[in-house]
Structure formats: structure tokens, C-alpha cells
Amino acid sequence: MKDDNCIFCQIIERKIDSKIIFENEKVMTFLDIFPISRGHMIIVPKNHYLNLEDIPDDDLAEVFKIVKKMAKLIHEKLNLDGYNVLQNNFTAAGQVINHFHVHIVPRSNNDNRFKLKIPRIPANDKELNYTLELLKG
């Protein structure tokens, strides 16, 4: 499954040059050309899936097996303080390329690249119960 208009499919097919870090029969990892930090990489399944809802479980498991391997690699080789593993779905969540992919973004304690801000005001029980009913109902 490929999409000729997809930039990641074109990278996988070697129609677009990329800096490949790792590859096997199901997954490819390459450096992001718009890196947030040095070592920012993208992990993609070689088959074209739009997002998390679209990818079969076996391919998803293989992708995340490689995510773990690449995370260990960059942590060791780039001497990082940490890293983010990001996976966006649909435009509202920041997905730009409609091919399932995972970012690993190297981080240092003092960088100001981006911060995840989690609200510190708890939801009330009524809101939580309503959401729970929607999801379970």
C-alpha cells in the first residue's frame, strides 16, 4: 500500500533523498528535515496508513518496537537529558503529513523548544461522569 502523492511514501521508495538511520522490511527511520533539535527523527511504517486508527496492530507493534530502539540509540549516542515521543492524528492535533508516523525529539534540560502545559485545575465529578458515560455508553 503506497500513495504516490505522499512525501513519506516517496522517501520509502527512494524518490526523495533522506538521511536514513534504520530500515527493515516494515519500518523506516530518517532524520526530520525540519528538526526541533539535533537528532529529531521520524519513524514510519513502509505501508501507507493515514493515522493511528488506520494502522493494523501488527504494524503498529513493529513501529513502536523500532521507536524504542531509536530512543535508546539517540539517548546513548547524543548524550541527551531526555526525549519526547510524539504521534499526531488529524489536523487539529498537528498532523501535517497523512501517513502514520512517530517523532522522537531529543531534549536537554535547558532547551526552550516547546513545553507541554498540563492544566492544574481538576475537572469536576459531573464533567468526568458525563464524559465517562459518553465513552462507555
Catalytic center residues: 101
Catalogue the E-assigned strands of 37-120. Answer: 41-45, 82-86, 102-107
74 CB-near residues (< 8 Å, 6+ apart): 39, 41, 80, 83, 104, 106
Q: Measured over all CA atoms, what is the biggest interatomic distance in the chain, rounded to whole angstroms?
A: 53
